[in-house]
Amino acid sequence: MQTVLDAIRSMPPAGAYSVIFALVFGEAAVFIGFVLPGETAVLIGGVLAAGGRLSLTTLCVLVFVAAVVGDTVGYEVGRLLGPRVIGWRRLDRFRARLDAAQRMLRERGGPAVFLARFTAFLRAAMPGLAGLSRMPYRRFLAFNAAGGLIWGVGFCLIGYLAGASYERVASLVGRGAAVTIAVLILLGLGVWLLRRRRASAELAASANTSRKQTE
């Protein structure tokens, strides 16, 4: 996938838009989002927009549409295939996390769909689980669209501001200092992602413990 992300930077605008759309769309479609870096692609798109290679407005619209349509496909897969999807062997290693996501959906309903957009695993799994649970589509769509709008525009802007900041810093203090600052920012993001993964692991462990206690 790193090759794909690197390729986005060298593609013409139409190609970059298409790949970013496909990655965001695929995150929630048929549960394949566990291995698709849609969020990272959106950030790269924002950086390219800051450099004038892409239109920020077009990027925001495409990401929003891809998020909503991709989640709708995931919802339909869950609704039509139901337990067959959940029973896939390749999902066994995610079993505890899926159980925790289903419990979250039962307890919070629509808001769970909204919040799921901001966590990688839940972003991929929640649409299918919502379809499986037979959540009314209009309710799903409302929360899905709200989450997709805030997430899509938000990450486009984060990438855009990061790209613009890099160019501004580079013009003021030179490329070397700008690269150093960029590395420090990336390290900070890495720490944040590590903490988020640990929190997700703790959630999975808690779900697994709860399941064992009920058995």
At 151, which helix (H) or strand (E)?
helix 137-173
In a 10 Å sphere around its CB, with 0-12 CB exposed, 13-18 middle and 19+ buried, how is residue 43 labelled? buried
* 171 vs 142 pLDDT, higher one: 142
Handedness of CA 165, 167, 171, 177 (dihedral sign): positive
**pLDDT tens, 48-95?**
898 888 999 999 999 999 999 999 998 998 888 877 777 777 667 777
213 lies in some domain? no
Q: How many domains does the chain have?
A: 1
**pLDDT tens, 12-33?**
999 999 999 999 998 877 655 5
152 lies in some domain? yes
195 lies in some domain? no
Decide: helix, strand or coil at residue 135: coil
185 lies in some domain? no
State pTM to two decimals.
Answer: 0.72
DSSP 63: H
Q: What's the CA gap between 148 and 141, in Å, rounded?
A: 10
- Host domain of residue 121: 2-162
**pLDDT tens, 122-141?**
888 888 888 888 899 999 99
113 lies in some domain? yes
